Structure 1
Amino acid sequence: METLYTSRLHGFPNLSRAVSESPLTEESMLSLVIVLGSSVSLVGLVFAFITYSLFSDLRNLSGTALMNLLAALFMTQLLYVIGVGGVPDPELCIALAFSLQYIRSCVLCWMLVMAHHMYTQFSTNLHLTPITDNSIGKRFLRYSVFAWGLPAVLLGASVIVQYREKGGKILDTASLKEQNCWFLDKNAFIYGLILPSTLLALTTFSYLIRSALVARYVVNMQVDKKLRDKMKRKRKLQLLLFTKITLLLALIITLGALTKLIRSEILWISYHVGQGLQGIFVAMMVTCNCQVLKLYTRTFKSRGPRQGTSTFGNIVPSAKTLLGKGVSISKSTSLQLLTWDPTPDPV
């Protein structure tokens, strides 16, 4: 236990050096998998963020919320990599622990925002409530205040708990360095991250269930079979995507909680591997699906003889070409990250 918990996973620079000087061992292989996985995750998250920034069809309220989620996940992976080799400076160690606790809460808050927005859109289709551009801006502002502000409140509570637990010695980081400054001490970790994360995850799952019920009701209201099948397929893809991302994030938080409270080799290794690879998994789920690939293909096909040149010299399809190809640039706030056809009108 002691060698795995400290030497194997705490001394990454030594392990990396050992790879070139000696045959591959269990420790060096684990180090290699985690470092490579984290690097690939960072690249994947950047690619996903650029994808949702590039296409106008994805820059709606849902896509913007997803971009904020990707940005928070990127910061989580980056801070995780910073602590991999150990943090000798106590001030940097406590700053890293607090930063990670804040950004982990931001990730869960943005996931809750996305689930709430999906439920709102499904309910809008049910009640035929009109949505104006003004209401879209106000809603995103409320979402941003909640997703970035609530974690700041939780972080302040963690600082108070950590300060009181250490008797005023908040820079006493001996226990934090045992886990690479990724987690605060026990009480601050439980009350500042575990309990709020549990409530956020449960609330997200409740919105997913309610969205599924509303979507099923709306789909069954449709008379046309083709329209009904299309709406059912679209809603199912959206629900599955959000459910998979929520389950993955909840799993990583659970593994982190167990490794903090229970010193187990298997749990500690599982957390490292999961934390290192979660970014690439999320990036693949939101970009490497048939609908995003269809958007890429549609953009390439729309490049005909009539093409315009952007201010940066890049060739882009003209508006007339896009309209001639039947591309619909929608300004609605519906969840179009999985389909770029206009939302079917409910009965």
Structure 2
Amino acid sequence: MNEMTKIAVQTTLKDWETDQEVRWCPGCGDYAILKAVQRTLPELGADPANTVFVSGIGCSSRFPYYIESYGFHTIHGRAPAFATGIKLANPDLDVWLVTGDGDGMSIGGNHTMHILRRNVNVQILLFNNEIYGLTKGQFSPTSREGTNSPTSPLGSVDRPASPCAFALGSGARFIARAYDVSKNLGGVLKAAHRHRGASFVEIFQNCIVYNKDRFDDFVAKGVADQNQLWVEDGQPMLFGSEKSGGIKGIALDIETLSLKVVDVADGDWQAAGVIVHNAKNRAIAHMLVEMPFGPFPMALGVIYDDPRPTYEDTLLGQDAKSREGKDANLAKLLAKGQTWTVSGTAADPV
């Protein structure tokens, strides 16, 4: 059955819950992400018998146990390789890949790069808590400079990796961001599922034990208004409110070819030069994911969405074309070309 003609299946959240006890630390952001996914799958018309969740190693990678569908809990960093194989074996399957900032950006960084550049049609959810949670709090590739941990007691001196910038640099055609308890997470997941190709979603996730409230600088209620920029294709890049110090926007500085924050007076965003988000603009997408937080808000939502042919469509199409007009006859193939006949018996002299 072609992916574009799949028949929607009616399910509820309960249909996607397993009999397994969900075991994360109390207060972990993974609980909220799990519920968001379980609520979204029925809205997508997804079929549990046609859905596969693949994970590597880490707290986030327990995910397949908690989704009532097919699942693979694989090895550290190699989930993209398994997901690619699954998709090539049966392109009609709806494949979701769940990973973390350690699993997907450190030991699995090369595998993440390849599934993105190949554009395999899977949804990739990277939970970013900026720490190694499962192995007890070591700093991870995304940990901020100065992070105190068992492996950096004086503060990490590493410059953190940006998962979305990495994905764009790897050739990804869909990039999005959200956070664990956001009401918009479901919408982002739906957009990722609609995209034909590798969809990369970075989800900021609170590690209650080893990196508690790390993202409060932009998710806490008192600051969310002025510190979150939710982008939407075709809409101006506005954030803030009159209650939080005024409405602001993101504009392009023509002289430096960089982004800047501008004040929006009387709601006239056009006069302020605010950019209208174009999800197909790769250059602006790069600027948005690399905006330094502090002088700029955190860019969230669907930042880039520009589909191209998927890996499996291209590869399997190439295979089908190569077989056109050919006779699938193994005996005939073995007898073709240089062949020879051995006569006589074992008793004959050589």
* TM-score (norm: length of structure 2): 0.23
Bigger Cα Rg: 2
By relative contact order (CA 8 Å, sep 6+), the higher-ranking structure is 1
Comparing both structures, which one devotes a greater share of its residues to helix? 1
Comparing both structures, which one devotes a greater share of its residues to strand? 2
